[in-house]
Every structure is written in C-alpha cells, then in structure tokens.
Structure 1
Amino acid sequence: MLPYPLLSASLVLMWLALNGFTIGQFILGCIVAVLASWGMASLRPAKPRLNKWYLLPKLVGIVLYDILRSNIAVASILLTGGKRSHKSGFMTVPLDLENPTALAVLAVVVTSTPGTAWLEYNSLNRTVLIHVLDLVDEEEWRVLIKTRYEALLMEIFE
C-alpha cells in the first residue's frame, strides 16, 4: 500500500507542520501522502548507483567552498552597485554526463551557487543553458563546470 513509507511519513509531517495538527488535517495529510507515494511509484525512478561513493565528501567540500566564495562575490557586486560594470548573460555548456542522477546533482550544484542558475537542459544536444550574474569569460565558466563538477560527477555516478 505504501511503496515509499519514508516519503509518506515525511509528507504527513510536513503537511501537519504547515497546516497545524488536527484530526482532519492528519487524515487529509495521510490521503495526500498515500496518493503522492502511489504517484511516485508509478514513475518508477531508477535507484541511483554510486560507483565511487567515497568521492562524495570531496564534492560536498568543493561545492560548499564555491558557495561561500560566490556569496562573497555576489555580495560585493550588490554592495558596490554601479561602481564596477559587470555583465550578466546566458551561456550554453556542452556536457558529457548522461546519468540522470548526476545531471540532477549538477543542476542543484549550479543553481545553489549564488550568481548562477541552471535554466534548461537539451537532451538532444546534451547542452545546458546557464545564466551567470557576472559573466566575464564564457570559456572560463565552461572549463570550470566541466573540470570542477562534471568530471567528479562522472567518476561518482558513471
């Protein structure tokens, strides 16, 4: 009846946290959680396979460092205002990644780093459209994403 019990329990708890605890909200939350669990089961997501799981702490460390560095860079752009000209723009990055889980992790990494946003993935060309707040050199960004994140994700997931 519950193909994803942890998901169902989490959804019920979140429902109650957002709507308050009453018997009616509990029943409604349970119904929503069961339906969401059935919906998730019908999607049948593939279980992620980590070939080199021991590289995950390295990835997390790199991402946390980049997030901290980007926060400082974005804050300096915002605080200096118009004193320094910066150019924001869109760019495409060709990817070699094919694993859906690795692509999802890369999307989270790029979007969680302040100043960048993952906008669109083209599966036919295997390119991603990214918006960068301070786009000085497109090629530098391509190299950064491919060598810093994509290469490590390919080691972990493929």
Structure 2
Amino acid sequence: MKRLFPYPLLSLALTLLWLLLANSLSLGNLLMGGLLGWAIPRVCRGLWFTDVRPRHPLLLAKLLLRVTGDMLWANVQVAALVLGPVRRLNPVFVEVPVDIRQEMGLTLLMSIITLTPGTVSAELSEDGRRVLVHTLDEDDPDALIESIKTRYEKPLMEIFPCSPS
C-alpha cells in the first residue's frame, strides 16, 4: 500500500483540494481528484525531505504563532507604506549570514522571510552561508539581520537537527 500511496494524507488532501477548487462532486471530478492525489505524490517522491522530524514540537508551534503574528503586523506596515502619505521608501538588499546547514531548516527560514510582507529572500549563496534579502523599507540593515537570526533562525536550529559549521 505504501508503494501505491507513498503519502496517503497528502493524496487525500490533494483530492479534497481538487474537489473544493472544482466546486463539484461529479464522477469526473472525483476521478480527476483521485488521479491527481495519486500521481502528484508519486512523481514528487524524490523531492521530499527525508527523515525530518522536529525535535521540539511545542517550540515549532510557538514559532508558527510568532511567524503568523509577524506576517499580520507586516501586512499592516506594508499597507501603511502603500496607502499612507507619500514618503520616500528605503528599499535595500541585505546579506544575512546563516548558520543553518540542514536543508529543511534553511528552506523554512527562506520561506518565512519570503512569506512576510515587505521582505523577499532573493538568493542563497552557492556555499549556503548567506541569504540575500530584499526589503521594501529598512533604515537599519543590522537590525533586520539580528531580527531574522534571533526570531527565526535560532528557533529553527533548535527545532530541527541543524548544526553550524
């Protein structure tokens, strides 16, 4: 059964997502959803991270709440910048040194940066030791670096088996 459905919960979620997007429970949509739910996990099986388990699930939940709060606050800040009085923005690129060497932790860090409105992780250096971050408005790049390292990178290194090298 594991060979046929390598990720059964993902298969079910994809099937349900298709049905929600199609907004119909017709036989054709059930078959298409089932086909997508079966095919996508099989085709993408080699892309999944292997053997990644968080060490501290409660810290992961705390990080998730922090990221959600930061995203909400960043939405307010970006809206104020865009809709507020005209003022000169200070967009900058900042190189953030990273200590994470574990792929899942690094992927999550870059995703968190990109998902937070007003910032984008633009590039990972070839050696994987620096992330180029673009920010919409930043007066103190050092404060941005410190914030990313303490608010996101440090907890990720505790949650996942990350080790600096």
TM-score by length of 2: 0.83
Within a 5 Å distance, the mapping from 1:121-136 to structure 2 comes to 121-136=124-139
Counterpart of 1:38 in structure 2 is 42
Counterpart of 2:20 in structure 1 is 17
Q: Distance in 2 between matches of 1:152 and 1:2?
A: 33
Query: CA-to-partner distance for each residue in 1:18-76, whole Å, 9 max, x for gaps?
Result: 22322122222222222112113343531322222231233123223322332222122
SS in structure 1 of the partner of residue 124 of structure 2: strand
Counterpart of 1:48 in structure 2 is 52
Q: Distance in 1 between matches of 2:39 and 2:124?
A: 29
Deviation of 1:104 (Å): 2.2
Counterpart of 1:2 in structure 2 is 5
Deviation of 1:93 (Å): 1.0
TM-score by length of 1: 0.86
Q: Are the structure 2 counterparts of residues 136 and 8 from structure 1 closer, same or farther at C-alpha, using a change threshold of 3 Å?
A: same
Q: Number of residues paired by the alignment?
A: 157
Aligned-partner residue type, residue 59 of structure 1: L
SS in structure 2 of the partner of residue 119 of structure 1: strand
Q: Does 1:80 align with 2:84?
A: yes
SS in structure 2 of the partner of residue 97 of structure 1: coil
Is the Cα contact below 8 Å between 2:101 and 2:128 reproduced in 1?
Answer: no
Correspondence for 2:122 among 119, 123, 132: 119
Question: Which consecutive unaligned segments of at least 5 residues does structure 1 have?
Answer: none
Question: Which consecutive unaligned segments of at least 5 residues does structure 2 have?
Answer: none
Q: Does 1:146 align with 2:156?
A: no
Counterpart of 1:60 in structure 2 is 64
Q: Distance in 2 between matches of 1:88 and 1:60?
A: 27
Q: Are the structure 2 counterparts of residues 95 and 79 from structure 1 closer, same or farther at C-alpha, using a change threshold of 3 Å?
A: same
Is the Cα contact below 8 Å between 2:57 and 2:159 reproduced in 1?
Answer: yes
Q: Distance in 2 between matches of 1:43 and 1:68?
A: 31
Q: Distance in 2 between matches of 1:106 and 1:81?
A: 32
Deviation of 1:123 (Å): 4.3
Q: Distance in 2 between matches of 1:65 and 1:38?
A: 35
Q: Are the structure 2 counterparts of residues 2 and 79 from structure 1 closer, same or farther at C-alpha, using a change threshold of 3 Å?
A: same
